[in-house]
Amino acid sequence: MKNLALFILGICMSIGAFLLSTPAYAANVITDDISIVKARVISVETLPETTLPGFDRPTDSQNITVEIIDGPDTGLQTTFTNDYIQLKKGDVFYLNHITNAYDSTSYHSVQDPYRLPLLIVFALVFVALVVWIGGKQGIRALIALAGSFAAIFYILIPSVLGGYSPVAVAIFVASLIIILGSYITHGFNRTTTTAVFGMIITIVLTGGLAYVAMNLGKFTGYASEDSVYLYMNSRGSIDMLGLLTAGIIIGLLGVLYDTAIAQAIIVEELHHIAPHVPRKEIFSRSMRVGREHIGATVDTLALAYAGASLPLLLLFAMPPVHVGLTANKEIFASEIMRILIGSIGLIITVPITTFIAVRMLVRPAKNVSTEVIEKELRAIAEHKHSH
């Protein structure tokens, strides 16, 4: 099984090297000089409330004097007006110092409060619970999670920024995450290999479907504000439509793991309990469980996307409301497509993985009498009839 796993990994690495051998297009990016450093508020002067254009509610603003506490400019003080997150004396935050690339003008602004200590506390709670409750399996899952993020940060992101096709990179990275994550978490065995095959096939099919859908729908990839900023900062060197498709592919990985592994284990367990039951019956029984899984997971997937897009839903629910026009807008239509394509990928994972599992894991027993087999099939038929 280890040789088979290494063979699969070698194939994916070769495909990845081929896909990434030629950049889609690359450009010399000229960007503003942006320096982000940690700073501490020394003094605060509260300014009168103002009303920003387009808003009816008053907005707080303040003049703050801050001291830079890391980087080459440590100890340097500066004063500027802040109308973003209101700070108080002693607060630590990240300071933006932006110098325009064309006219060399510069200004300071508050980027974000210093939240890392809070994030670290909750991360430690998460890790502790995974290890305490999950045991060795939980530790393996944490290692796989770390590997997944490493693949995203050290392969996916640099490759896309380098001008390579986001879709090709996403399919390669997703396949790599599937292989490494599955074998680290569940071990080198036939069941894991079955799930890996099912997930990779689903990722390739879903990626192709997403690519076709994005082009048929004439999506641009510029619907969100962060996409526009990314395109501007990269000076147009990134394929934004491909990036939208890549996001759908990577976002699908989480639900694929659960579904594919579950179906492979179901087939394995059914075969262990009744090794003389034919493959067709094992497939039928496993698909019944898979359908129940689909019913629960599709709902979970849709609600997860809806929760992430709640501000967007509220925005388009405000008068005047035109359902057709609202759904047709790219910013909303792209989220709908994300839900639909993700759900399609989830659904097709069940029959694909189940079929592969039945072919790879089920070896019907040969030394079982015909009477035993007929008795078992009658019992199965009666059970089906009772439902």
- Which pair of structure tokens corresponds to residue 243? 């990036």
The DSSP 8-state label assigned to residue 109 in this structure reads E
Q: Give, in order, the Cα–Cα distances in Å from 11 to each of 139, 176, 185, 202, 346.
A: 28, 10, 21, 17, 24
Query: What is the bridge-based pairing of β-strands 33-46 and 106-113?
Result: unpaired
- Which pair of structure tokens corresponds to residue 205? 């099919």
Amino acid code (one letter) for 58: P
Largest CA distance in the chain: 91
pTM: 0.69
| Domain boundaries for CATH 1.20.1640 within the chain | 2-27+135-386
DSSP 198-249: HHHHHHHHHHHHHHHHHHHTT--S--SHHHHHHHHHTTT-S-HHHHHHHHHH
pLDDT per residue rounded down to tens, the chain (387 residues):
555 555 555 555 555 554 444 454 444 445 567 788 888 999 888 887 776 666 667 777 888 888 888 888 888 888 888 888 888 888 898 888 877 766 667 778 888 888 888 889 999 999 999 899 988 888 888 888 888 888 888 888 888 888 888 888 888 888 888 888 888 888 888 888 898 999 999 988 988 888 888 888 888 877 776 777 777 777 767 788 888 888 888 888 877 887 888 888 888 888 887 777 788 888 888 888 888 878 777 777 677 766 766 766 676 666 666 666 667 777 778 888 888 888 888 889 999 999 998 888 887 666 555 665 566 666 555 555 444
Q: What is the signed CA dihedral for 146, 149, 150, 156, rounded to 10 degrees? A: 160
Asked if 285 and 383 touch (Cβ cutoff 8 Å), the reply is no
Q: Which strands, in side-by-side order, build the sheet including 77-82?
A: 77-82, 62-68, 33-46, 92-99, 106-113
Q: Give, in order, the Cα–Cα distances in Å from 108 to each of 80, 97, 111, 138.
A: 7, 5, 9, 44
What does the alpha-carbon distance between residue 381 and residue 387 come to, in Å, rounded to a whole number? 10
Question: How high is the pLDDT of residue 352?
Answer: 93
Amino acid code (one letter) for 330: E
The DSSP 8-state label assigned to residue 56 in this structure reads S
Neighbours of 286 (CB within 10 A): 28
What does the alpha-carbon distance between residue 206 and residue 185 come to, in Å, rounded to a whole number? 24
What does the alpha-carbon distance between residue 196 and residue 48 come to, in Å, rounded to a whole number? 61
Asked if 326 and 316 touch (Cβ cutoff 8 Å), the reply is yes
- Please, which residues have CB within 8 angstroms of residue 84's CB and are 6 or more apart in sequence? 109, 110
Please give the CATH topology (third level) of the domain spanning 2-27+135-386.
Multidrug efflux transporter AcrB transmembrane fold (1.20.1640)
Question: How high is the pLDDT of residue 24?
Answer: 47
Owner of token pair 């060795």: 136
Please give the CATH topology (third level) of the domain spanning 33-99.
OB fold (Dihydrolipoamide Acetyltransferase, E2P) (2.40.50)
For the packed helices 310-317 and 279-308, what is the interaxial angle rounded to 10 degrees?
Answer: 60
- Please, which residues have CB within 8 angstroms of residue 97's CB and are 6 or more apart in sequence? 34, 35, 36, 37, 106, 107, 108
| Domain boundaries for CATH 2.40.50 within the chain | 33-99
Question: How high is the pLDDT of residue 106?
Answer: 74
- Which pair of structure tokens corresponds to residue 46? 């509260």
- Which pair of structure tokens corresponds to residue 19? 């896909």
Question: How high is the pLDDT of residue 138?
Answer: 86
Question: How high is the pLDDT of residue 189?
Answer: 85
Asked if 156 and 175 touch (Cβ cutoff 8 Å), the reply is no
Question: How high is the pLDDT of residue 26?
Answer: 43
* Backbone dihedral angles phi then psi of residue 91, each to the nearest 5 degrees: -65, 140
